[in-house]
């Protein structure tokens, strides 16, 4: 849309509330359609029908807003790490960095809840920087110990609308002295394939920095692999729902096989999420998938437990200076 000298990107997100199922008066219906519309904004261009779970979750998130700000101020959020392993020779290639919050009253808060709170209260950039800083700090320390490992950080689709984000990433890479190719930014399929061109300029600037870009949860949306050809991404992560089902469901196996085959033809690396059994591991090896992560190797761990896991799982005889460590045989 052109408005005087400005070019504006316009998008829609539709919330739906139905009378009398969702309310018998105008005030209730307006309140509930607003909740549905806010939920729809998580995926630009989507339509969300109101349901009671939206209301209860909205109230809980509202109560968490102030607590999240204090948790960020006081360093109460922790970063966990989940190993990523080559499936052919079981070498540890990196970790995915995941924010975790243990609330003093509510216990463990689901990431989707506190990320949504951060998005709606202006704290998203602080949360993202927290995870980036911790990941880059650990990556620098591992490199100094002659164990170079990459780190992957999840990025909200909203972050891709921040034109200053690529500059901040460059500043953090310089601050910690980490080569850009050791950082992977993971964006959900819905976030990069939202039917608009809005994410592409930011993605290109990040690619030009040398940062690796990954499409997370691939296969859960309405897009196809062909759409990836116009995006400056390096990697596809197959959604865990297909990986976990491929040992028993021929349809899931066919989907994973197609994603791996076509991604490789496009020059994209493939990561399988949710690897939980030896049978799944063997099937992924047979179809040529390169990297996996999942409970078969390790669940996400705090740093101290990750170091203990390194000691228990990594075969020290396989490590030479600057080489990726190899895991012992997975039981």
Band of pLDDT at residue 20, cut at 50, 70 and 90: confident
Band of pLDDT at residue 329, cut at 50, 70 and 90: very low
* Mean pLDDT to the nearest integer, 17-28: 79
**CA dist., res. 316 & res. 328, Å (int):** 9
Which CATH homologous superfamily contains domain 65-318? EAL domain (3.20.20.450)
- pLDDT higher than threshold 90 for residue 32: no
Predicted local distance difference test score (pLDDT) of residue 89: 86
Tens of pLDDT, residue by residue over 135-153, are 999 999 999 998 899 999 9
Tens of pLDDT, residue by residue over 36-60, are 776 676 655 678 787 666 544 554 5
Q: Please provide the DSSP assignment of 14-62 as one string.
A: EEE--TTTT-SSHHHHHHHHHHHHHHHTTSTT-EEE--HHHHHHHHHHH
Decide which of 52 and 97 is more confident: 97
pTM: 0.80
- Count Cα neighbours of 8 within 13 Å in the Cβ-side half-sphere: 8
Mean confidence (pLDDT) of the chain: 85
Band of pLDDT at residue 331, cut at 50, 70 and 90: very low
Predicted local distance difference test score (pLDDT) of residue 181: 97
Q: Does residue 219 contact residue 237 with C-beta atoms inside 8 Å? A: no
Predicted local distance difference test score (pLDDT) of residue 302: 96
Predicted local distance difference test score (pLDDT) of residue 195: 62
* Mean pLDDT to the nearest integer, 117-135: 94
Q: Where in the chain is the domain with CATH 3.20.20.450?
A: 65-318
Q: What angle do the packed helices 199-209 and 165-176 form, to 10 degrees?
A: 20
Q: Does residue 73 contact residue 310 with C-beta atoms inside 8 Å? A: no
Q: Is the dihedral of CA 291, 296, 302, 305 positive or negative?
A: negative
**CA dist., res. 210 & res. 212, Å (int):** 6
Tens of pLDDT, residue by residue over 165-195, are 999 999 999 999 999 999 999 998 777 766 6
- pLDDT higher than threshold 50 for residue 83: yes
- Count Cα neighbours of 58 within 13 Å in the Cβ-side half-sphere: 15
Q: How far, in Å, are 61, 157, 190, 315 from residue 57 at the CA level?
A: 6, 21, 22, 45
> Which of these ranges, 52-56, 106-110, 225-229, has the smallest mean pLDDT?
52-56
Q: What whole-number percentage of the chain has pLDDT above 70? A: 81
Structure tokens given for 270: 């493939």
Q: Is 307 helix (H, G, I), strand (E, B) or coil?
A: helix
List all residues 6 or more positions away from 260 whose beta carbon is below 8 Å from its beta carbon: 238, 270, 287, 288, 289
Predicted local distance difference test score (pLDDT) of residue 281: 95
Predicted local distance difference test score (pLDDT) of residue 205: 96
């Amino acid at each position: 849309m052109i408005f005087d000298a400005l070019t504006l990107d316009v998008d829609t997100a539709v919330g739906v509330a139905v009378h009398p199922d969702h309310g018998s008066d105008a005030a209730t219906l307006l309140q509930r359609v607003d909740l549905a519309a806010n939920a729809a904004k998580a995926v630009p261009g989507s339509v969300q029908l109101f349901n009671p779970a939206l209301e209860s979750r909205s109230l809980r998130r509202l109560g968490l807003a102030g607590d999240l700000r204090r948790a960020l101020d006081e360093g109460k959020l922790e970063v966990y790490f989940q190993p990523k392993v080559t499936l052919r020779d079981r070498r540890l290639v990196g970790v995915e960095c995941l924010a975790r919050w243990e609330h003093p009253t509510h216990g463990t808060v689901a990431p989707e809840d506190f990320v949504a709170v951060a998005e709606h209260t202006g704290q998203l950039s602080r949360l993202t920087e927290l995870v980036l800083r911790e990941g880059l700090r650990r990556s620098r320390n591992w490199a100094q110990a002659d164990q170079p490992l990459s780190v992957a950080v999840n990025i909200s689709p909203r972050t891709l609308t921040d034109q200053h984000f690529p500059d901040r990433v460059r500043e953090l890479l310089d601050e910690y002295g980490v080569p850009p190719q050791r950082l992977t930014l993971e964006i959900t399929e819905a976030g990069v394939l939202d039917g608009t061109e809005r994410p592409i300029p930011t993605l290109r600037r990040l690619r030009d920095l040398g940062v690796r870009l990954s499409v997370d949860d691939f296969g859960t949306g309405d897009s196809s692999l062909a759409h990836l050809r116009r995006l400056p991404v390096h990697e596809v992560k197959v959604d865990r729902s297909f990986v976990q089902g491929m040992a028993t469901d021929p349809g899931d196996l066919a989907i994973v096989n197609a994603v791996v085959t076509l991604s490789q033809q496009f020059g994209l690396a493939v990561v399988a999420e949710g690897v939980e059994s030896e049978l799944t591991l063997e099937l992924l090896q047979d179809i040529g998938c390169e990297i996996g992560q999942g409970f078969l190797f390790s669940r996400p761990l705090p740093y101290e437990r990750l170091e203990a896991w390194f000691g228990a799982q990594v075969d020290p005889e396989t490590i030479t200076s600057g080489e990726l460590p190899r895991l012992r045989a997975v039981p």
